[in-house]
Structure 1
């Protein structure tokens, strides 16, 4: 495994590969979120109700029942997709628009990339970025901190310890900066990431449903934002 710390180097030359992996890392959560939402008792009840309504309104038509149930499922999928796609669009237009300026050129921020040889070619297979928190958390007694901006490992390179190596490297970076804690916010369908951060000593400090989208969209998607912290 070739683990490379590109901090203070020109990250923009890797921008295409980084953005591609970043996009994958965000949108891969749409389907897990959709299946998790559809398995919720409330959504199961609604699905059955609209299917029955379709059956009755269609004159005992099973096709109409499936059509109505499918329409409801499509609505839930759309909401789940909007949560992640909306987040992706915001980040691509902001921090990820100029990776070099927003990460490497800012001393308080950090960006790490994993390069691995795949079929004889070097490929970006993982990334992690940390950014200085926007402000102070009153509940944390003004503790200076960094926030994990994103952690992504390509699908075929998982379960090899890359995620752990990236997080541990970022934690060491935070210690070198003289900071007292690291923060990460993860969506509830990201069960593997939540388990990883727990294993590395992060604890859940809050859970909310603020996805920065319309309240109805967030409610139908049933995606919670889990805040975890590790004190150094």
Structure 2
């Protein structure tokens, strides 16, 4: 089998959109588990069960606990699923227009070829942005198929973005990821990115983000020569 990292082609659209959807949605369960296992949420769950029990209704206790856990799962699901739906109708609907229409932008895919077939197993994009008198790049849509992880592909694609940034005279590469994506955070730290900011501003309603306990991490890597 041969792995090739190349620029996006229009024929990749369906495969890329499918990989994007699957890659983002897989964070729903980890987000839920991380939330309900937190000390605060364990306490809330126990308190709700105790309230129902003290009211003399075991079934009521179960309903309260199930309702609470259902709310947390709903928020985690909607946070990621609505993000996918939004982006599929925006930049991921017109990838050439969003990521290939300017010299400072690019979109790559990692394609595995074998047995006469090819399959897109990874992707990443970068958008050049102007800030004052400096240009920097923002990394987007880094997704690696679960079957290709822990094989160095993420590092290779991240380095592709860094090398592109150097060619385009960017001062730095910035990105945002969620606290749930621990493997991605570890990868970026390994590649020299530093955590510079945390916030909870997402496309979802503020209360929903609070319930999920998901934090958005901003990271950056200086690449000025």
Q: Which residue of 2 aligns with 1:195?
A: 186
Structure 1 segments, 4+ long, off by >4 Å, are none
Cα deviations by residue, 1:113-169 (Å, 9 ceiling, x for unpaired): 111136652110010111123x53xxxx75421111111111111111100000001
Q: What is the RMSD of the two structures over their aligned residues, measured on CA atoms?
A: 1.6
2:60 matches 1:69:
no
Task: Check the 8 A contact 1:146/1:183 in 2, yes or no.
Answer: yes
Task: Check the 8 A contact 1:29/1:84 in 2, yes or no.
Answer: yes
Q: Which residue of 2 aligns with 1:3?
A: 4
Q: Which residue of 2 aligns with 1:126?
A: 122
Cα deviations by residue, 1:149-191 (Å, 9 ceiling, x for unpaired): 1111111111111000000011101111111100010100100
2:215 equivalent among 218, 224, 228: 224
CA distance in 2, matches of 1:193, 1:101: 27
Task: Check the 8 A contact 1:143/1:181 in 2, yes or no.
Answer: no
Shift of 1:90: 2.2
CA distance in 1, matches of 2:33, 2:105: 35
**What TM-score, normalized by structure 1, do the two folds share?**
0.90
CA distance in 2, matches of 1:41, 1:119: 50
2:187 matches 1:186:
no
**What TM-score, normalized by structure 2, do the two folds share?**
0.93
2:107 equivalent among 111, 118, 136: 111
1:19 equivalent among 17, 20, 35: 17
Q: Which residue of 2 aligns with 1:54?
A: 52
CA distance in 2, matches of 1:66, 1:197: 42
2:197 matches 1:206:
yes
CA distance in 2, matches of 1:131, 1:115: 21
List alignment gaps of at least 5 residues for structure 1. Answer: none
Aligned residues: 222
